[in-house]
Amino acid sequence: MIRTLYLSIVATLLIGLIAGCGSDSASDGQLSQFDTRIPDAIAQHVPMPEQANIRMSMVRDDGMSVMFAPGISWPDSLSFFSRALPAHGWTVDEEDLPSETEGEREAFWVAQGHDHQLRISITAFGGEQGFNMTGFILLQPEE
């Protein structure tokens, strides 16, 4: 009985740490604050929670991409990008915020600005706060 309780507590703590659900809200930051291959001239205009963890970035002939973990909860991620994109000079053309609060779900934003098209998507699993969340950014120069 005690061992089961102990394992339950440890599992709950680990899940909270992995999901990054410990933060109450997102702090404003920009992609240029992180070690990416994205040129600072555009990265300084891409909002990113300061708590984020960049997993990968690449620059190709047709654009730039970044994979990240938001480091904040699912609800905080949705409100962060919905608020921060216009505040950083992006015109949001499309925003899809799912009504599901549990299970697998994806939100995305498509925006124009700074001579680029920007697409951000975040996928979450599990409960309301989200678990194992992954985000993707695709930046393409306007033609």
pLDDT of residue 105: 97
Retrieve residue 96's tokens. 């899809």
Give the whole-angstrom CA distance, residue 115 versus residue 121. Answer: 20
Would you write out the chain's pLDDT as a tens digit for each of its 143 residues?
454 433 333 333 333 434 443 344 566 777 878 778 788 888 899 999 999 999 999 998 889 999 999 999 999 999 999 999 999 999 999 999 999 999 999 999 999 999 999 999 999 999 999 988 999 999 999 97
pLDDT of residue 1: 47
H or E element that contains 124: strand 116-125
**98-110 b/e with 16+ CB inside 10 Å = b?**
eeeeeeebebbbb
Give the whole-angstrom CA distance, residue 83 versus residue 137. Answer: 17
